[in-house]
Structure 1
Amino acid sequence: METLQHALSEINILSISVRLGMALLFGGLLGLERVKKKRPAGFRTYMLVCMGAALTMITNQYVFEKWGLSGDPVRMGAQVISGIGFLGAGTIIVTGRNQVKGLTTAAALWASACVGLAIGIGFYSGAIIAYIYIFIAMTALHSVTHKVAAKSKVINVYVEFTNMSSVSDFFDFAKANHLQVAEIDIIKPKIKTDTQVITLLTIKAPAKIEHAKFLSLLSSAEGVRHIEEL
């Protein structure tokens, strides 16, 4: 056992194969979860990021063991951490309704790179534990977040009104139902439509309420042509 551990900690064909194989496996499994949710960065992207990070650390270790150079032995790994930000930024988009999407995918890519770095330097236990926690955060905790958000006091909605006076009437409607319009953003439609006013609203209720009921109540206000939760 000790011989195997020693072999996997050194730079040789066995350790390189195991490390890159683990990186491909862990990165691919994280990527599959994103594929199921139709996210921009998926299976192959995660595999390549994780394996590339692992290879960087293997190369880093090889250079210092082969040439015996002095200095920071994890310098190349530091560049992966900063460089992955550019790839992560490419997965973050702002929709036409000012929704920011892709933050979880970007964070997962960064975390996948960190797992790859741990595998690349031979820190197997840290990589395995980190992978398990990341996978739990991306899968099991997704439903928890959804359940909590679905019954919160605050709701962000996209609302189309027939005219500007309808917006004023909506404020009166909200006040009559003990609701507070915390934020309002009036946006100009990119394409001309019959809709006169398009808004993004943040509305607070006095107590926790299921958002399906919340939306049903808001849609009953006069002058509301279309409403949906953001």
Structure 2
Amino acid sequence: MGEWEMLLRLVLSGVLGALIGFERRSHSKQAGLRTHFVVAVGSALIMLVSKYGFWDLVGMNSVSLDPSRVAAQVVSGVGFLGAGTIIVEHQFVRGLTTAAGLWATAGIGIAIGAGMYIPGVGATVLIVIGLEIFNKLQKNEVYSIGRANLSEEGINSALDILKNSKMKISNIQVNRHHNKSNKDLEVRITFKVYTRNQNEIKDMMVNLLKIPYVRDVNIE
């Protein structure tokens, strides 16, 4: 295969990866257009080298080639890159979809590098359309993470406010820890708030702060 066709495959792979990256970027995710573009082009390049870079060794005695071995390492190697986009904070996980997108982008790059144009383009279209559809279906599921620091006496009052709130609140977690400065026992309540109404969030923060035992409330 000519080197110009190889270059065409790299360009096509980069364009397809950039499409997925643009969708992620439009939703303010950690890995955006540039990251997906580089992953796609790099994967396609590795696949080209794996498939065509060792033809001068074919036919030599005691030499056997397995083009799939190098490509297989791309799939596992991208896993480390995807792990960097996953954020675990107080048992809440973010970035899984972006990590999966990077992994899929690597697969698209491998497909285009191998000359499988239709599967590569088809996968890109399915991923972009699927992400957009599911984003719209889950637009009402946008949530904020709330944290309230308080003393142990205020746990029941704070939980009552969260339980009786008109907003959807889930994943309520209560963690006890000792204050490093005075070694007193403190409590942190962490929760998810599902709403787009900022006034509702402000009202709940005010209600929590009315509890004498609550030191501070943060919702982001």
Q: Return the TM-score normalized by structure 2.
A: 0.73
SS in 2 for 1:198: strand
Residue 148 of structure 2: aligned partner: 160
CA contact (8 A) 1:64 1:70 kept: no
Task: Give the whole-Å Cα distance in 2 for the aligned partners of 1:182 and 1:20.
Answer: 44
- Per the TM alignment, residue 104 of structure 1 is displaced from its structure 2 partner at its CA by 1.8
Residue 124 of structure 2: aligned partner: 131
Give the aligned residue type for 1:72.
Answer: D
- Per the TM alignment, residue 54 of structure 1 is displaced from its structure 2 partner at its CA by 0.5
- Per the TM alignment, residue 226 of structure 1 is displaced from its structure 2 partner at its CA by 3.1
CA contact (8 A) 2:83 2:99 kept: yes
SS in 2 for 1:139: helix
Residue 121 of structure 1: aligned partner: 114
Residue 85 of structure 1: aligned partner: 79
Residue 7 of structure 1: aligned partner: none
Question: Which of 2, 7, 17 in structure 2 is aligned with 1:12?
Answer: 2
CA contact (8 A) 2:30 2:85 kept: yes
Residue 8 of structure 1: aligned partner: none
- Deviation digits for residues 66-124 of structure 1, max 9, x if unmatched? 433645331110000011111111222234x5533222221111111000000000000
Taking a change above 3 Å as real, the CA distance of residues 137 and 190 of structure 1, as seen in their structure-2 partners, is farther
Q: Does 1:185 align with 2:178?
A: no
Question: Which of 97, 102, 111 in structure 2 is aligned with 1:109?
Answer: 102
Task: Give the whole-Å Cα distance in 1 for the aligned partners of 2:76 and 2:170.
Answer: 40
Task: Report sequence identity in percent.
Answer: 30
SS in 2 for 1:185: strand
- Per the TM alignment, residue 13 of structure 1 is displaced from its structure 2 partner at its CA by 2.3
Taking a change above 3 Å as real, the CA distance of residues 175 and 67 of structure 1, as seen in their structure-2 partners, is closer
- Give 5+ residue unaligned stretches, structure 1: 1-10, 204-208
Aligned-residue CA RMSD (Å): 3.7
Taking a change above 3 Å as real, the CA distance of residues 184 and 19 of structure 1, as seen in their structure-2 partners, is same
Question: Which of 18, 22, 33 in structure 2 is aligned with 1:32?
Answer: 22
Give the aligned residue type for 1:87.
Answer: L
SS in 2 for 1:91: coil
CA contact (8 A) 1:184 1:202 kept: no
Between the two proteins, the alignment pairs up a number of residues equal to: 205
- Give 5+ residue unaligned stretches, structure 2: none
More strand by share: 2
Task: Give the whole-Å Cα distance in 2 for the aligned partners of 1:16 and 1:190.
Answer: 61
Q: Does 1:226 align with 2:214?
A: no
Q: Return the TM-score normalized by structure 1.
A: 0.70
Task: Give the whole-Å Cα distance in 1 for the aligned partners of 2:169 and 2:91.
Answer: 21
SS in 2 for 1:40: coil
- Per the TM alignment, residue 23 of structure 1 is displaced from its structure 2 partner at its CA by 1.0
